[in-house]
Structure 1
């Protein structure tokens, strides 16, 4: 657990951040959150490998020293902005989730003030669900969704600022 407070800043995602993220190695069962190699993402023009999509939807989360700590996708939908979130693997489980999420939510509210904020999370990912709950998200739906390893159950969680825990 990191003892001193960490301040997170949300900035535009740079190409180098995307390359770094593609090298992150999550331990099972979290390895489902890994990305394909950077060069392949660029060649296919998918996700943050597409410069336009990276500029429009992706942000990097850095600390005061400018170190890349994570990223978020702010995916605009009808009346909603859906968050996709990733934290550097070695920072997971260190008690940083709430401040990390709060920085991302603040950015989403600034960019899309009129939209609801939600996210999807695999139902087994209790570590993330605890963090999302502390940050003001509540489970509103459960459904099956296709993943690289088949159909899996997901929760949809919606942000409600009145539910934030200190």
Structure 2
């Protein structure tokens, strides 16, 4: 039996999808990518808990059945759009990353055709780095950045159109 590849689509992030993302629990060491509870995100009006920011910068990634598979933030900066990406925990490590990334990159190119596309990734996250490289991103810089658990080394990866 031949299985067709999974097809992902980018859509506007709905409130129920934002709330679902807050329930995701990742295994260590990826557990640092979890979010605070949805009511707290809304109360603090931060990230996708802020309705305007959610509308302007966040998208949901769904499969052909309409099931939420992940999300992306398309954060506009001077001359750049920075991607923030999250895949549903049970889909991570299944070899779907490049298929997941394709519609996100297409959306960024559509929204910001004149801007460079980049992302930041912790240097230890080789699983994500391999995926990003497979999708056309290359490491252009290394630096330390503050995280909730202290300063950590990151790569900046830029999409090579």
- TM-score > 0.5, shorter chain as reference: yes
The residue aligned with 1:164 is none
1:1-166 aligned within 5 A: 4-161=4-161
Q: Deviations over 1:60-90 (max 9, x none)?
A: 0000000000000000000000000000000
TM value normalised by structure 1? 0.95
- By how many angstroms is 1:4 displaced? 3.9
CA distance in 2, matches of 1:150, 1:116: 28
What is the TM-score when the length of structure 2 is the normalising length?
0.98
Structure 2 gaps, min length 5: none
Write the deviation string for residues 8-31 of structure 1: whole angstroms up to 9, x where unpaired.
000000000000000000000000
CA deviation string 1:10-61 (max 9, x = no partner): 0000000000000000000000000000000000000000000000000000
Aligned residue pairs, count:
159
1:114 and 1:23 mapped to 2: Cα distance? Answer: 35
Q: Residue deviations 1:124-151, cap 9 Å, x none?
A: 0000000000000000000000000000
Divergent runs of 4+, >6 A: none
